[in-house]
Amino acid sequence: MFKKFAVLFYSIFVLNLVSAQHGEATAGAAPAQELSEKDKVSKENKEFIDHHLLDAHDFTLMVDKDGHHIGFPLPVIFYDNGFHAFMSNKEGFMHGEPTEVDGSFYVLHHEKIYKTDAAGTLTIGEDGHPTNVKPLDLSITKSVLIILLVSIFMLVLFAGMAKSYKKSVVPTGAARFLEPLIIFVRDEVAIPNIGHKYKRFMGYLLTVFFFILFLNVLGLMPFGINVTGNITMTFFLAILTYLITTFSANKDYWKHIFWMPGVPVPMKLIMLPIELLGTITKPFALMIRLFANMTAGHIVVMSLIGLIYVFKNFVAGVAFPFLTLVIYLLEVLVAFLQAYIFTMLSALFIGMAVQEHEHEHHAAH
């Protein structure tokens, strides 16, 4: 549903932009001026949404009416014949101007660093992307900063909870709110899907649940924090589940993949590549599900806000803020739901890998 909404509203901006450009070529002077204004607004909205979804080398808290970004710089660290580091507020860097670092020049283009000449020349390839050399970027970007802060916050929070339980089994402070969630993950996610071996994996399941939950909640803030909407982040979370599943799997799991018992030999040969492919599609589904849902939610909210400035009338000024509020409240639910779904599916995949097929052993005897 979210993906359909995202495609719908994002397409409105694209179609509006295309129609305005077409109108400029065919209409007269007065209509062209009007369409040109709509074109400008639509283009600005699209760029704002794209900027909101992308990672950044600085942290912007807000933009004033003159277009100045209010925030703070972040460390830019990259490797190109040695490590180089400077703050992102270095003159001209965030504006795409060539920046000299130890005798070489670099340009920031769409939040990617490229090596250039003193003029900042970028050679654009047939795919529309620069072909200049890209150094290994190890910068503390906005997403990396949030990941570090959430990790530290979780360490402090749960270490404090563990310490409080040594004094009393009655939860106090944050534990009163978090303990029901912990019990929920244990009783409704881990035990039903993994069984009696669930304790081995509770640490991972709780970590990934609260990590995604906190990142999703922060993503609802108006600061352009979109960590779980970054496919690189969801990729590594899915890889962790895949590695745990693979290295925890027992011989029954691999036997059902490579030589499924109770199936004729010709069917075993057909099922083998399908089952092998299934081990890859499972983490892929985890990655895409979290990424697509969180990204779509951001696009819908930002698109609804942008439509206010496109239509500029009373109806738009009342209807779109109301719809934005409704979708935003729904996003709060989605933030919890996606954390639950990722954790539940991870537990399900792990449970499939560690379960023992006792009925087959009895049948063999």
Whether the pLDDT of residue 317 is over 80: the answer is: no
pLDDT on residue 66:
67
Confidence (pTM): 0.80
* 201-232 pLDDT, tens digit each: 999 999 999 999 999 999 888 777 889 988 88
How far is Cα 200 from Cα 205, in angstroms, rounded to an integer?
Answer: 10
d(C-alpha 211, C-alpha 121), whole Å? 41
For 90-121, the pLDDT digits (tens) are: 888 888 889 999 889 999 988 899 999 988 88
Least confident of 13-22, 333-342, 344-353: 13-22
| Angle (nearest 5°) at CA 55 between 52 and 56 | 95
